[in-house]
Amino acid sequence: MKTIIIEKNKNYFKRIAIMLLMIFVLCGLVNFLCYPSEHTYFLLPTKNTVIIFSIVGIITCALVIFLLLKSIFRKDVFLRIDEQGIFNGFFLYTKKLIKWEEISKIETIKYNYNNYIAIFLKETPNNEKGISSLFFKMNEKSMGTPYIITSGDLDCSFDELERLILEGYNQSKQIKN
């Protein structure tokens, strides 16, 4: 089996646009936090709800901006398919290499109008900490597995990605038998 490396997409326009939008929202939330009495209305009827809304929003915006900056400036981000398995540098998890023998099945799923390749492992222990653990649990609950791959950040189409992963998986099963 030959090694296939798919680099990250170099088009940062979407990420930068989202980051600018988040900075704009962040400025608005800081304004809400500084002057809570001016921003009370029927959805946020008291100063305390405005303050709580502002703090939660600021934390969320900061998290999104951090994740976007991290995705833009990381240099070691790529997807590699080889005889060992699938190495996904895009995962936020510590386990980036999924070995072929750990995989029970691979499916293409559609979730929220997007296509994903879901990799189901024989055992999926959650050894993650912090935010990674939260994303692990959310993906496992919503999609059935925490290990999902999309072509959005990759320099290839979804059909090509699906074909390459399934070919690698089928070749590994043939070698094993």
Asked if residue 150 has pLDDT above 90, the reply is: no
> What length is written for the chain?
177
As a whole number of angstroms, the distance between CA 8 and CA 24 comes to: 27
More confident residue, 56 or 173: 56
pLDDT in tens, 84-143: 999 988 877 888 899 999 999 999 998 888 899 999 999 888 888 888 888 889 989 988
As a whole number of angstroms, the distance between CA 177 and CA 174 comes to: 5
Under the banding of pLDDT at 50, 70 and 90, the label for residue 33 is very high
All structural domains of the chain with their residue ranges: 10-73, 78-176
3-state secondary structure of 8: strand
Asked if residue 54 has pLDDT above 90, the reply is: yes
DSSP element (H, E) containing 7? strand 4-7
Q: Are 93 and 37 within 8 A, CB to CB?
A: no
As a whole number of angstroms, the distance between CA 127 and CA 125 comes to: 6
